[in-house]
Amino acid sequence: MTETTPVFQTRLAESDDDIRAAQALRYRVFVSELGGDGPLVDHRAALERDRFDDFAEQLILLDVARPVREQVVGVYRFMDECAAKAAGQFYSENEYDLTPLKVSGRSLLEMGRSCLHPDYRGGAAMVHLWQGLAQVVQAKGAEILFGVASFHGQDVQALAQPLSLLARDHLAPDDLRVRASPYQSMQLAAEIDRVGAMKQVPALIKAYLRLGGFVGDGVFIDRQFNTTDVCLVLDVARMNARQSAIYGVRPERGRL
């Protein structure tokens, strides 16, 4: 953990320096830690980026107690429907058929590239980042939040327990049930050890589940990022009121 007491601030990335700092943190997490790659990843400059960065916005979490060049300690990238139209698609459409969401007539917001500096995991940083996201979503009037989240590695049999648990207990209802394309079933284990399975579920996915989120049907194997992805879908109107209060969420108003 950090040696000084963190002083957190959240805001949108505004300058080129902000964006590079966000991409540098993404590189540290998704490339250096998890072994990811991609056609636009800049290994020389240590920046993780893709074509959607030209259309998306990025929320950054800063610890202003750190030196200026090291202050960005958390990132969340998001795209609304206007941004997706300009980009030609949502990022998640590389992996999932989003038709149920797109025909719903409700306001959509895609979230992704969520990451925290290693020194800030397991503490208050994620709550601060989510509170900042809540302000963004409230301003945009989003009603359905979604995005892909990852398990490390590509061996679905090694993930049979947690994936089967998600499919059994947290599958999205029909009106929100996006489907992996190409399709890979999540129902891989006949018997599930719930406690052991949940220990394998990444913290970010657990947070969405506590809020009342669901998973889409099937997983996607991301060869470039060395991950097994699920699509998380959160209907703000169905959110867990007690958990959502932690993040400044107001489900009774139909938005974050």
Q: Please report the domains of the chain, with CATH numbers, ordered by start residue.
A: 8-253 (3.40.630.30)
Q: Which residue has the tokens 């992704």?
A: 112
Phi/psi at 35 (5° precision) = 80, 20
The dihedral over CA atoms of 164, 118, 210, 172, expressed in degrees to the nearest 10, equals -40
Alpha carbons 86 and 231: distance in angstroms, whole number: 22
Q: What is the pLDDT of residue 182?
A: 94
Q: What is the pLDDT of residue 251?
A: 38
pTM: 0.90
Burial of residue 95, with CB atoms counted within 10 A of its CB: 0-12 exposed, 13-18 middle, 19 or more buried: buried
pLDDT tens string for the chain (256 positions)?
A: 556 899 999 999 999 999 999 999 999 999 999 888 889 999 999 999 999 999 999 999 999 999 988 999 999 999 999 999 999 999 999 999 999 999 999 999 999 999 999 999 888 998 899 899 989 988 999 999 999 999 999 999 999 999 999 999 999 999 999 999 999 999 999 999 999 999 999 988 998 898 899 999 999 999 988 899 999 999 988 876 655 555 554 433 332 3
Q: What is the pLDDT of residue 59?
A: 97
Q: What is the pLDDT of residue 253?
A: 32
ω before 182 within 30° of 0 (cis)? yes
